[in-house]
Structure 1
Amino acid sequence: MTFQRIAFARWTGGRGTFIDRNDPRTAAVPKGDEEATIYAYVIDHPRFGRVMIDSGVSDALDSRLNGVMRRGVHDLGLRVERTTAQWSVGQTAPRAVFLTHMHFDHIGGLIDLPATTPVYAGQGEAQERNRINLVLGSPADAILSGYGPLREWAFTPDPDNAFDGVLDVFGDGSVWAIRVPGHSAGSTAYLINAVDGPKLVVGDAVSTRLGWEAGMPQPVPTDTRASAELSADRLRRFAAAHSQIEVFLGHQSRTGQAEPN
């Protein structure tokens, strides 16, 4: 099974976008900006075909967002390098999309894929409702308009007690979905046993090097802070215990990882 990472767009935000500036543990981190990349991942399974993890971006995304959300994206200086439609030319269409979570920068490329494409997400992701989401105009609902019902992963208890739940997606140990709630209700990581070694796609459970290497907490609602930190810690401990795993953060490469073209 092969694995590739694709960079679709880049944007720049203040560090407070990624770390909780109200937490005293972040006090020593200097003010400044972080560059973030919107990634998607493509896996080609010898039996089950092509699957995307997250979905890239679409030129039509702007028209699906309300005014508040459009202004926010504009303020981030989003720089699109390729859309999902442009990437798709000459490519085998994915048979399914596996989401790490349903924030706009991870699902926006679905607009460029056939509405018949099955979309999978973690338990509770589609039901997440909060005040911020209402202000932003429920962008996930707008992007997924026209798609069929979202499929939810049926996680089972992790026999190693490393995570909240796991699922052997294809039943052959090639791709595992891992429940890592906190950044969102259904945040999901994926472990891919590729021909060139295992890959761990963590989504925004840990989005930047500050979160992964320095353990800086995310700016999440108070009632999800404990689960977000626990999920991030579990992922770091899992990777440390399996040094052969290559880790792919939500919006940045780890130190020493090459950026995709």
Structure 2
Amino acid sequence: MPVLLLAGGGCATVATVHPREAADIGSASRGSALEASLARPGQVTFQRVAFARWTGGRGAFIDRDDPRTAAVPKGDEEATIYAYVIDHPRFGRYLIDGGVSRALEPRLNPLMRRALQDLNVRIDRSIAEWLAAQTPPRAVFLTHLHFDHVGGVLDLADGTPVYVGAGDAEERNLMHRLTGRPADIALSGKGALREWTFTPDPDGVFAGVIDVFGDGSVWAISLPGHSPGSTGYLINAVDGPKLVTGDAVSTRLGWEQGMPQPLPASARAAAEASAAALRRFVAARPGVEVFLGHQSRTGQSD
């Protein structure tokens, strides 16, 4: 969802009151180890699934107060809510991000329901509908706790583990109070959030990296800025490496033209550093396929 709606500035309350604990999988590593893993054959299968779409003005995605955006014409952007399915031959199935749930909207407060109507949100499928013909995931790896990345977790079985970057549950801003903490609704019954324990990357490739399964097949990447615990994921898939950016870069305007997001002043430097690190990494490794937070890159199809 556009950052102005769900990550606005100001200080009021926490993003979620859900309990938290340290992740029980994954170990801190370094950028050079991540890079070396790409030289090995991939062993994980990867699939992107589109769950819903909405239409928002470009000012919800780029900072119209920044002079760098002046040349971008006014207009709307079409955005998609995705989740990603990874199947590991030893450890099983996992989701990256949560898709959507049709059961969530009736439980939201009036302001949040009105926001969804204004954005013309169209649900293609819910997680519950998708699960009807699928093996359920063993856990969910979130890119961050904003509503449009966590909402479908509501449809998963109680007790499904949910992993997220440290700091996201403590995010403080006015919009989280006004929208009624939708993340808490989605996370009901899922147990404590399991927070990735990032440490500074000694190689400086990213802010931090975690080898999720200990075999170089899936990496969690610390990308603070869009949210305090914003996390990307690099998957060494059988058909080539895939980079899921989350909303560290959500649109083609952000990736191709480097347009800054509308964020509180305190988050802007971190957000731009995270986006720049992603672009440098991919520029040096053109074989990595990039999956932006809410749009396909040129040539990709949903």
Same fold (TM over 0.5): yes
- From 31, 35, 43, the equivalent of 2:74 is 31
- Look up the match of 2:115: 72
RMSD: 0.9
- Look up the match of 1:244: 287
* Superposed displacement of residue 156, structure 1: 3.0
- From 115, 120, 128, the equivalent of 2:163 is 120
Q: Please list, as runs of the form range in 1=range in 2, the aligned pairs for 1:92-171 lying within 5 A after superposition.
A: 92-171=135-214
Select the structure with the greater relative contact order (CA < 8 A; seq sep ≥ 6).
2
- Look up the match of 1:178: 221
Q: SS of the counterpart of 2:170?
A: coil
CA distance in 1, matches of 2:146, 2:120: 17
Moved over 6 A (4+): none
What one-letter code is carried by the residue in structure 1 that aligns with 2:64? R
Q: SS of the counterpart of 1:36?
A: strand
Q: SS of the counterpart of 2:221?
A: strand
- From 46, 50, 73, the equivalent of 1:3 is 46
Contact between 1:4 and 1:43, CA under 8 Å: does it hold in 2? yes
* Superposed displacement of residue 131, structure 1: 1.5
Identity of matched residues, %? 71
Structure 1 alignment gaps of length 5 or more: none
Deviates more, 1:203-212 or 1:131-140: 131-140
- Look up the match of 1:219: 262
Contact between 1:99 and 1:119, CA under 8 Å: does it hold in 2? yes
What one-letter code is carried by the residue in structure 1 that aligns with 2:276? D
CA distance in 1, matches of 2:106, 2:203: 45
Structure 2 alignment gaps of length 5 or more: 1-43
Contact between 1:205 and 1:232, CA under 8 Å: does it hold in 2? yes
- Look up the match of 2:60: 17
Please list the CA deviations of residues 197-235 of structure 1 after superposition, one character each: whole Å capped at 9, or x if unmatched. Answer: 000000000000000000000011111011111111111
Deviates more, 1:143-152 or 1:212-221: 143-152
* Superposed displacement of residue 138, structure 1: 1.6
Contact between 1:10 and 1:78, CA under 8 Å: does it hold in 2? yes
Contact between 1:64 and 1:143, CA under 8 Å: does it hold in 2? no
Contact between 1:175 and 1:192, CA under 8 Å: does it hold in 2? yes
* Superposed displacement of residue 68, structure 1: 1.0
**When the two structures are aligned, how many residues end up with a matched partner?**
259
